[in-house]
Structure 1
Amino acid sequence: MSLDIQWLDATAEDFSTRLNALVAWEAVSDQQVLSTVQSIIGDVRHRGDQALVDYTCRFDQRKVTSMTELCLEAEVLQEARQRLSVGDQQALVAAAERISRYHEKQLQSSWQYEEEGVLLGQQVTPMERVGIYVPGGKAAYPSSVLMNAIPAKVAGVSEVIMVVPMPKDVVNDWVLAAAAIAGVDKVFTIGGAQAIAALAYGTESVPKVDKIVGPGNIYVATAKQLVFGQVGIDMIAGPSEILVICDGKTNPDWIAMDLFSQAEHDEDAQSILVSPDRDFLNRVKESIQRLLPTMERKGFIETSLKNRGAFIWTPDMDTAIAVSNKIAPEHLELSVEDPQALLPAIRHAGAIFMGRYTAEALGDYCAGPNHVLPTSGTARFSSPLGVYDFQKRSSLISFSAESASEIGQIASTLARAEGLTAHACSAEYRIVTKE
């Protein structure tokens, strides 16, 4: 099998132009998708549960007549868990425990301090109810259940609602078992834009949530965009990405498989290898040619690597890091002798995997950090999903009579400079004039 992967030379005059073209991605809904999603959202708001039942029958090829049939009780989740082998259950529990331990480190606490009659601080409180969307059908990801539900539970969210489509009534025991282990409170077997609308606005059966997290197709992503503001959302994620920086000393088969690990997601996923060693790039290409025919999802991998994959040669490691910072990848592997030495120069990355033995796949399942990461260059300003996404911060402000009088003069001056007289008077009423 011969597979042509794009090669870029970081010293070439047209490098920036070619790099920009390589990483360009716009997940913009076309007018038909937008119109369809708007219609579905409006229908769910108007008809509530009945709309959800109708769409489930239509899109998921199910024969249901009421929401009762679409709501799974806790015992159903536990039954699904018990249908897994003991070893499979242990793997889910072990992953959940690692994810939980990591996210417990992210918990933020309320704090206060006082200075000359002024109390200032911050009160941290969890959201009351959040919704997690989990893809169903062929794309069933128990890891997504753990990564989305556990941080919410660690944050102290009172109620976690999960929606997951079950086309043709196919039950995925892994997903339901993960929900049981992660402490999900309610599960509705609905999907698509209609599920997002139900979570955002509420229906007779589905409670309205404060925030919606989790991946989905273009209809789900478009619905999340449209309901943002009514509820919070995590992000609008693009295709999965990996960028590997290698010094040429890692086993090329390992690197080939790391590139495959993202390319197998779908045809739009992106895998990029950056190295100052030309010979190593050639050896990885040879590994790709040899290993690709052995992959179950070789069709996805081949299309992804051909259309969006790349080998980038750089004259040195500093240039390799500069290329990475420009791309701001979702997953960055530093497959080098001393990754700690490179770390201070890395400015933009969703997750950084350090060292030759640290496969990105470990982060997808059980390392501990969240696998919900910023894509499409958004790591320049965005961060992984975490406990902080499910906590709110309220400012605390308290003045004594004396401090209100003193600092009120500052407020009055600034308010009058802005022409806001009522603001100024509000502060001035509390100023005590000294005789």
Structure 2
Amino acid sequence: MDPAYFWYEAGHMMLAPARAATDATRIAFKNPVNPLTHTPYGKAMAAGCELFERVTRRYGKPAFLLDETRVDGVPTPVYERVAWERPFCRLLHFDRAIADPDRPSDPKVLMVAPMSGHYATLLRGTVEAFLPNHEVYITDWADAREVPLVEGAFDLDTYIDYVIQMCRLLGPDVHVMAVCQPAVPVLAAISLMEAADDPCIPRSMTLMGGPIDTRRSPTAVNLVAQERGTEWFRRNCIVKVPPPNLGLWRDVYPGFYQLSGFMAMNLDRHISAHWEMFNHLVDDDGDSAEKHREFYDEYLAVMDLTAEFYLQTVETVFVSHALPKGEMTHRGRPVDPSAITRCAIMAVEGERDDISGVGQTLAALELTPNLPDDRKLYHLQARVGHYGVFNGSRFRAEVAPRIGAFMRAQEAKARGEAQGQRRRGPRAVAG
């Protein structure tokens, strides 16, 4: 057992009594019958206790909480259902209870969420933006520490297998969206489907802030992987899951390792954010404090990745650059993006992205020379960083409408091609 993970678990257990006592103190100083509650001392005590409890808490898997949307301006209930399930992933369907059975169907969207330490709820805003005008499905990746060893391994090849299986389940009229990390396996999966002339090739794929070719505009994240190499990560980042987790003894890259790395990159910003929350609580600025809670409830909820998936991704994507160099394989078969001739591609990048640099996702359009230009689209979103590519006000106002228009354009093109084939059919028979 790795001592780091053991002490991480032990630390949470040992702090449990302190968290309970601190929370009780906070409740006491929030109680309106307490004469100190409305004093500066009482407010500072309550704020300090809440911050201590939040900083030392283990954050569980968040919920989507998307119970309603508006379809054609009408409030419409949304039901979260499991459409497909494997040991390491569930496919969730946000089923809209549309009242009008004769309403034309909306484009079907498969959102492939990143498997990079955070849960699929990181894309809650992405799902919410597309729900009014799309039939949305999303991958809900499992926390590796909760998957028993008996379920076997999960690597990059298995990830690609899962994507292909989900595309076949949803059919050829699906539009795939890959946000960040899954851009490479999604492009690989569709390349393999095109090479095999699979009948369920998706209508389009949208790659958002994805590391297709990390040799372009390399970021700090890219450079660290390149300089240290895969073996360094194997020696320093892979540990075994300790008890009492269901995935006991599984080799993983712990989520708290990745979270520590991300927080260290902007430590001053995180410290300032918590100090600001303390002041918001003291000043009774409930709205600002709630925004802080919502962000960090999501940001601090992390999951473990299987060692084999993590290391294979590091080697394939960040060290050897196998996909853009034409060296990537899947279970012995070459992955050749030039095989793509039908699935339309949209690449979306953020001008200020410090995780996937500008040009890395654009590379997908250049790796597919046999795809007609009218099936390709590129969008560089101004004034946004990595998360702004798929979330936030500019995403809702500028990026999401462009992606929706791209998908509907491919729908119209598919309908036109189908009508053309039907018209040509009788003439071909008569001839």
Both structures adopt the same fold (TM-score exceeding 0.5): no
- TM-score w.r.t. the length of structure 2 is 0.29
Rg: which structure is higher?
Answer: 1
